[in-house]
């Protein structure tokens, strides 16, 4: 059985401080943005009164912030485990954090000072056709915030790319492509390196696509004579957005590969199906985004067909090998059900269940009816709230757990139960509302939709309460670990509790 806290994961005092910044900042922002979400649902349910302008500001901050913060937290998971196999620059990891912080400040200023409420998609020409609600400068600051955050992630990925190539020669060998069609697979080839390399390739391309469209939109904002093709802009935005969200999931999955075997006592090695799954996803994630544009009838027909077909398959290769590996790891393993292990199993369920309504919406006959309803936020809240976020929490509990024998209590397990039940109720109200044709992005709802909104508000409040306890417990343990470290500040090599 591999050590629960291998010496290869030892953190220096500086690394521990940086990881704590990532973790505590992410937890705090998650809580803040969850409160924004609760406010929106309560306003739709007519329990509180906020103006439509403020509603759309909250919606913009919530959407942009959640996607970015999930990416930030997931990048910490990738950094923590990848550095065991390649030499990563702590300075680039710090730069990513600082640029993210600067970008977040710009976005929040654009939204709550400048009044920008054009949603995370900043779809042209909305940012510059403001009807007097916000200024051109506010829209530009919002897009500049995105650009700054993208630069931070790009620096992180480029550093990781160079580090991987120094050890494995090229990205194809790091992905294990030399074993796709034959040969003896090196079972010690790290799953973390395979997943990280896929993310490096795909998200670098996605971020570059996002940078191109952001620069185009910024130029157009101040030079209206520079016209933009609205369809091209929309393609680039959804290419960037879809790739970024998917890569946030795939970075978090690294924690599943690394942590679950330590609690089950069983190895998780690479296999040919595993390598093929990640190779297929490297291509599929880049070409699946047209399923966001099925209602844009001027799209080239072949792209809509591609989006339809790939929608059914793009999420399956990596998910299937991960879910199967997790089940074989857990089955009859005699595993001790600590918080990280329970959260990982929850994440597998959330990921699996969240894929189903996404695939349903990817069907054109359904999409034309359901895409602009609450069904869509239902599916992505499902696999973010009950899939990715539990992966992040599992990682943070694991890292923090070595420093405190009292970290895992009955209260933590109760919080997990509340989080699961309330989370299911919350996303269930989105899906049920979508089935009843409740529209997405509407600030004001008809009376017929209020029961869904109010039930979702109650569930959201319970989710936030559970998340608050998680955040307090994890943050306290992380800070205690940092203050109690000596020398290299190694992660304690014992099982908490």
**DSSP character string of 230-275:** HHHHHHHHHHHHHHHHHHHHHHHHHHHHHHHHHHH-------HHHH
Residue 495 resides in a domain:
no
Total residue count of the chain as it appears in this document: 497
Residue 72 resides in a domain:
yes
Distance, CA of 46 to CA of 438 (rounded, Å): 15
List of long-range contacts for 133-137, beta carbons under 8 Å, 24+ apart: 133/53, 134/110, 136/221, 136/222
Question: What does the DSSP 8-state code read for residue 402?
Answer: T
What does the pLDDT read at residue 335? 80
Q: What predicted TM-score, i.e. pTM, was given to this entire model? A: 0.91
Total Cβ atoms within 10 A of residue 487 = 8
Q: Which residues of the chain have pLDDT under 70?
A: 1-2, 402-407, 482-497
Residue 202 resides in a domain:
yes
Residue 497 resides in a domain:
no
Domain total in the chain: 1
Residue 496 resides in a domain:
no
Token pair, residue 360, equals 């349903």
What does the pLDDT read at residue 403? 41
Distance, CA of 373 to CA of 431 (rounded, Å): 9
Per the CB < 8 A criterion, the answer to whether 463 and 423 are in contact is: yes
What does the pLDDT read at residue 486? 42
Residue 230 resides in a domain:
yes
What does the pLDDT read at residue 177? 93
Identify the CA nearest to 161 among candidates 193, 118, 191. 193
Identify the CA nearest to 176 among candidates 292, 278, 75. 278
Distance, CA of 72 to CA of 76 (rounded, Å): 7
What does the pLDDT read at residue 113? 95
Range of the domain at 195: 7-483
Question: What does the DSSP 8-state code read for residue 387?
Answer: I
Per residue in 136-160, pLDDT (tens digit) is 999 999 999 999 999 999 999 999 9
Tell me how far the alpha carbon of residue 409 is from its chain's centroid: 27
Residue 494 resides in a domain:
no
Residue 295 resides in a domain:
yes
Per residue in 259-275, pLDDT (tens digit) is 999 888 888 888 899 99
What's the CATH number where 18 sits? 1.20.210.10
């Amino acid at each position: 059985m591999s050590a629960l806290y291998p010496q290869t994961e030892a953190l220096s005092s500086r690394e521990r401080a940086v990881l704590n910044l990532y973790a505590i900042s992410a937890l705090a922002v998650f809580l803040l943005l969850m409160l924004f979400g609760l406010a929106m649902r309560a306003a739709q349910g007519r329990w509180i009164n906020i103006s439509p302008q403020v509603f759309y500001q909250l919606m913009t901050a919530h959407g942009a912030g959640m996607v970015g913060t999930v990416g930030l937290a997931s990048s910490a998971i990738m950094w923590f485990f990848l550095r065991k196999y390649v030499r990563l620059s702590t300075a680039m990891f710090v730069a990513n954090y600082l640029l993210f912080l600067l970008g977040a400040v710009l976005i929040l200023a654009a939204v709550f000072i400048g009044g920008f409420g054009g949603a995370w998609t900043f779809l042209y020409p909305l940012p510059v056709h403001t009807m007097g609600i916000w200024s051109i400068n506010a829209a530009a600051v919002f897009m500049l915030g995105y650009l700054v955050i993208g630069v931070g992630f790009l620096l992180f990925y480029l550093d990781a790319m160079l580090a991987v190539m120094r050890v494995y020669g090229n990205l194809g060998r790091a992905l294990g492509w030399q074993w796709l069609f034959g040969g003896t697979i090196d079972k010690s080839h790290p799953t973390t390196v395979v997943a990280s390399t896929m993310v490096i390739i795909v998200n670098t391309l996605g971020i570059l696509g996002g940078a191109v469209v952001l620069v185009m939109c910024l130029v157009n904002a101040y030079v209206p004579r520079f016209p933009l093709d609205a369809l091209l802009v929309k393609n680039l935005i959804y290419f960037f957005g879809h790739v970024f969200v998917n890569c946030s999931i795939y970075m978090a999955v690294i924690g599943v590969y690394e942590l679950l075997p330590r609690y089950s006592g069983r190895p998780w090695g690479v296999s040919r199906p595993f390598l093929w799954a990640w190779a297929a996803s490297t291509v599929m994630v880049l070409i699946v985004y047209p399923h966001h544009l099925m209602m844009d009838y001027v799209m080239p027909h072949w792209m809509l067909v591609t989006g339809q077909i790939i929608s059914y398959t793009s999420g399956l290769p990596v998910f299937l090998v991960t879910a199967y590996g997790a089940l074989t790891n857990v089955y009859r393993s005699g595993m001790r059900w600590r918080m990280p292990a329970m959260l990982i199993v929850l994440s597998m369920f959330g990921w699996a269940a969240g894929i189903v309504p996404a695939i349903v919406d990817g069907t054109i006959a359904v999409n034309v009816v359901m895409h602009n309803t609450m069904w869509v936020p239902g599916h992505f809240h499902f696999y973010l709230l009950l899939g990715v976020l539990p992966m992040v929490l599992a990682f943070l509990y694991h890292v923090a757990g070595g420093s405190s024998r009292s970290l895992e209590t009955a209260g933590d397990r109760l919080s997990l139960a509340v989080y699961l039940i309330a989370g299911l109720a919350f996303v269930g109200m989105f899906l049920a509302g979508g089935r009843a044709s409740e529209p997405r992005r509407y600030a004001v709802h008809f009376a017929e939709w209020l029961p869904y909104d109010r039930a979702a508000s109650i569930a959201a409040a319970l989710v936030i309460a559970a998340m608050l306890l998680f955040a307090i417990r994890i943050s306290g343990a992380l800070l205690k670990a940092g203050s109690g470290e000596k020398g290299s500040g190694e992660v304690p090599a014992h099982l908490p509790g």
